[in-house]
Amino acid sequence: MDKLFKSQRNIAKEELTGIQWDPLESVGQLENVINNSEIKPKVIFKHSTRCGISRMVLNQFERGYEQNDDDVTFYFLDLLNHRDVSNAVAEKLNVTHQSPQVIVLYNREILHIESHQGIDIKKVQEIVANKK
């Protein structure tokens, strides 16, 4: 019953339990993420708080996560609350919008992109490990 009275933003925050996520909430921040991908890999997870598939994939992604050192920064994009940022991701990275979607960036280039049930945290962590 509590969920009926909570905002979508609060529900999204409750869903994030395993990974240390940085919220991605502005186009300017996205530009910084892209630029700073020269320093270390960045992972952007685009999530729709109204989509059961997106919620399921997010839960699987977090459950499969194995803690490692600070070799990567994970960004969470709530695309319903930040549609402008989601549109900017598609435009600036030249990717088709999907939800859920994971994008791995390094050195301003896309190393990996996947959507829906194809999203696999093990694959993401393997790609990041190869960039050390």
Single pTM value for the model: 0.85
Check residue 8 and give its pLDDT. 47
| Per-residue pLDDT band at 75 (split at 50, 70, 90) | very high
Check residue 17 and give its pLDDT. 61
Cβ atoms within 10 Å, residue 65: 17
For residue 5, pLDDT beyond 50: no
Q: Select from 3.40.30.10, 3.10.105.10, 3.30.930.10, 1.10.3720.10 the CATH code of 2-129.
A: 3.40.30.10
CA distance 27 to 70: 24
Check residue 67 and give its pLDDT. 75
For residue 32, pLDDT beyond 80: yes
Choice between 95 and 9, residue whose per-residue pLDDT is larger: 95
Instruction: Put the strands of the sheet holding 42-47 in their side by side order.
Output: 21-23, 73-78, 42-47, 101-106, 109-115
